[in-house]
Amino acid sequence: MTSNCTWVIKTPPEHIIADYILRYMKNNKDAKLYEAMRRLESKIKLFVADGHDEQHIRTLLNKATQSHTKDSLKQACEQLCI
């Protein structure tokens, strides 16, 4: 007997972006805030280009996009990944 039921777990784009930024900062300890912010913006644009709602993504990533330090960016991303 075969099943036509397929389980698809969709990770929300904001979680993917936050995880990506955390991994980038972990692997590039000397990275500057502006470099991480540039990557954050480029990831948001990629998901928007793929058809995701920009306003929804930006609302959830608001703390991250408004960060003024690497530590605050890291904390904002960590909160999204919980």
Quick: pLDDT tens for 37-62.
Answer: 999 999 999 999 999 999 999 999 99
Closest CA to 17 of 56, 61, 59, 69: 61
- Number of CB atoms found within 10 A of residue 74's CB: 18
Q: What's the whole-number average pLDDT of the chain? A: 92
Q: Can you say how many angstroms the Cα of residue 74 is from the centroid of all Cα atoms in its chain?
A: 11
Percentage of the chain modeled with pLDDT above 70 = 89
